[in-house]
């Protein structure tokens, strides 16, 4: 691995030296610019000393479009798309600046070939980065070249990302609470903090994410035929500039916009109680001071105390999290007889292989039999418990 060392001469002039191993020795290359030094260090780490020195020697002025310029053009185009949020563009810019520009930014976009991209990916794997993180950054570069290759633009002639071998992520079983554990958490929450108990009851029943459940407005709760309560997901809380901000008309994917029935009489009654006396735009779930729930504060202070009372606190990283309740809700739906398609629509999962991802927000109903069976399980009158086995789960009876 190469390193950069800053040097200050007797006259106060600063320079930066890149040190690296080559032929059993440790030569150095000095640069007047810190940026140039770090760019060369990246070249050494990515391609090795010989190739890095060749690239440096051949770094003559080139008026062709650079990768950095292609990235700017692509980001400008993405920002103009109506379905892309400012937060998404900010995340893209961060990854482009941190992972793409240091490797390829100064080079002509047309000069990048498949071998260059593969070496870049292999370098990230050795870093090591998680396969998903590597794939996400490769996706950005691929999207940039796909944008530039379009006939309407003609910025580049080929896409060097089309034959890259990406690391395959290992599958992990999502963790979930059993229904008895959830009931124990509910009992502890109702005793210590009833407002938190109502939120926990909702998350475990409907399977919404914390950012979705805490953003539920009163106007999105409705009673339909037969007294069944339905809820409509149309907004979430996001972290923007280190602040939790309510963002309307936002979901993790289009399928996340969904209107679904509440499969629990107990939770339905709680929702109606919390809506009394509130305006349509008021939040259903608020803390003891009547304010919106802050996710970090909830995870740091409220949740551990409730788990401790329930006998389920084993420390951060080992204890159940609020997201486990989402997986439990999925297991309950399967145990109640719902199909994979029923659950995919209900929970708001995106699936490009079916049309349910597109129409998930419009088709969210479950049969009366499924709702009744889910109510039995969630009310503690069902089987002894369920655990999550996979992203799409099946129930497992506990002895």
Q: Could you tell me which residue, 59 or 103, shows the higher pLDDT?
A: 103
Q: pLDDT band at residue 358, thresholds of 50, 70 and 90?
A: very low
Domain boundary assignment for the chain:
3-44+51-57, 67-149, 179-378
Q: In this predicted structure, what is the pLDDT of residue 198?
A: 97
**Mean pLDDT calculated for residue range 248-266:** 74
Q: In this predicted structure, what is the pLDDT of residue 173?
A: 61
57 in Cβ contact with 43 (< 8 Å): no
pLDDT digits (tens, 9 = 90+) for 300-353: 999 999 999 999 999 888 899 999 998 888 888 877 887 777 777 787 765 534
Q: In this predicted structure, what is the pLDDT of residue 356?
A: 35
What's the topology of domain 179-378?
Answer: hpI Integrase; Chain A (1.10.443)
**Which range, 234-248, 262-276, 374-388, has the best average confidence (pLDDT)?**
262-276
Angle between helices 49-57 and 34-47 in degrees, nearest 10? 130
- Separation between Cα atoms, residue 251 and residue 235, nearest integer Å: 7
Which tokens sit at 277? Answer: 């006396």
Give yes or no for residue 290 having a pLDDT over 60: yes
368 in Cβ contact with 348 (< 8 Å): no
pLDDT digits (tens, 9 = 90+) for 209-219: 999 999 999 99
Class of domain 67-149: mainly alpha
Of the listed ranges 19-28, 133-142, 220-229, 251-260, the one predicted with least confidence: 251-260
**Mean pLDDT calculated for residue range 245-252:** 72
Average pLDDT for the chain: 83
- Separation between Cα atoms, residue 292 and residue 241, nearest integer Å: 18
99 in Cβ contact with 27 (< 8 Å): no
197 in Cβ contact with 190 (< 8 Å): yes
Give yes or no for residue 257 having a pLDDT over 70: yes
**Mean pLDDT calculated for residue range 218-234:** 90
Q: In this predicted structure, what is the pLDDT of residue 129?
A: 87
Q: In this predicted structure, what is the pLDDT of residue 243?
A: 84
Give yes or no for residue 183 having a pLDDT over 50: yes
Q: pLDDT band at residue 172, thresholds of 50, 70 and 90?
A: low
pLDDT digits (tens, 9 = 90+) for 381-394: 655 444 433 333 34
- Separation between Cα atoms, residue 36 and residue 59, nearest integer Å: 12
Both ends of the chain: CA-CA distance in Å? 53
Q: Could you tell me which residue, 391 or 4, shows the higher pLDDT?
A: 4
Side-chain-side CA neighbours of residue 76 (13 Å): 7
pLDDT digits (tens, 9 = 90+) for 11-62: 778 888 888 887 667 778 888 888 888 888 888 888 787 777 777 766 545 5
Q: pLDDT band at residue 170, thresholds of 50, 70 and 90?
A: low
Find how far residue 110's CA is from the centre of its chain. Answer: 32
Q: pLDDT band at residue 276, thresholds of 50, 70 and 90?
A: very high
Angle between helices 368-378 and 265-275 in degrees, nearest 10? 90
């Amino acid at each position: 691995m190469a390193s950069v060392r800053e040097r200050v001469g007797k006259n106060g002039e600063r320079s930066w030296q890149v040190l690296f191993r080559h032929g059993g020795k440790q030569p150095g290359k000095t640069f007047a610019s810190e940026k140039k030094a770090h760019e060369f260090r990246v070249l050494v780490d990515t391609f090795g000393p010989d190739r890095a020195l060749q690239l440096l020697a051949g770094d003559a002025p080139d008026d062709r479009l650079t990768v950095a310029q292609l990235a700017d053009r692509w980001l400008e185009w993405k920002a103009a798309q109506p379905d892309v949020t400012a937060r998404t563009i900010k995340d893209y810019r961060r990854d482009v600046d941190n992972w793409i520009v240091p490797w390829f930014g100064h080079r002509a976009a047309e000069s990048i070939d498949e071998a260059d991209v593969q070496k870049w990916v292999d370098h990230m794997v050795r870093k090591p980065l998680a396969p998903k993180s590597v794939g996400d950054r490769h996706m950005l570069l691929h999207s940039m070249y796909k944008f530039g290759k379009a006939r309407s633009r003609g910025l580049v002639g080929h896409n060097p990302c089309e034959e890259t071998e990406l690391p395959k992520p290992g599958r992990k079983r999502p963790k979930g609470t059993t229904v008895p554990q959830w009931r124990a958490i509910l009992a502890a929450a109702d005793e210590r903090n009833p407002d938190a108990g109502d939120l926990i009851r909702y998350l475990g029943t409907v399977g919404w994410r914390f950012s979705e459940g805490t953003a539920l407005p009163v106007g999105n709760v409705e009673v339909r035929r037969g007294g069944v309560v339905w809820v409509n997901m149309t907004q979430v809380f996001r972290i923007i500039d280190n602040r939790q901000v309510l963002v309307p008309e936002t979901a993790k994917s289009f399928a996340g916009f969904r209107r679904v029935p509440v499969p629990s009489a107990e939770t339905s009654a709680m929702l109606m109680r919390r809506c009394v006396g509130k305006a349509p735009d008021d939040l259903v779930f608020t803390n003891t001071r009547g304010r919106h729930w802050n996710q970090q504060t909830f995870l740091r202070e409220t949740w551990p105390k409730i788990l401790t009372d329930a006998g389920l606190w084993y420390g951060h990283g080992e204890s159940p999290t609020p997201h486990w309740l989402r997986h439990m809700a999925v297991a309950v739906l399967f145990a109640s007889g719902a199909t994979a398609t029923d659950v995919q629509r209900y929970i708001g999962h995106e699936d490009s292989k079916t049309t349910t991802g597109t129409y998930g927000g419009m088709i969210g109903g479950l049969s009366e039999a499924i709702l009744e069976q889910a109510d039995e399980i969630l009310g503690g009158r069902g089987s002894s418990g369920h655990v999550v086995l996979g992203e799409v789960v099946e129930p497992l009876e506990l002895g």
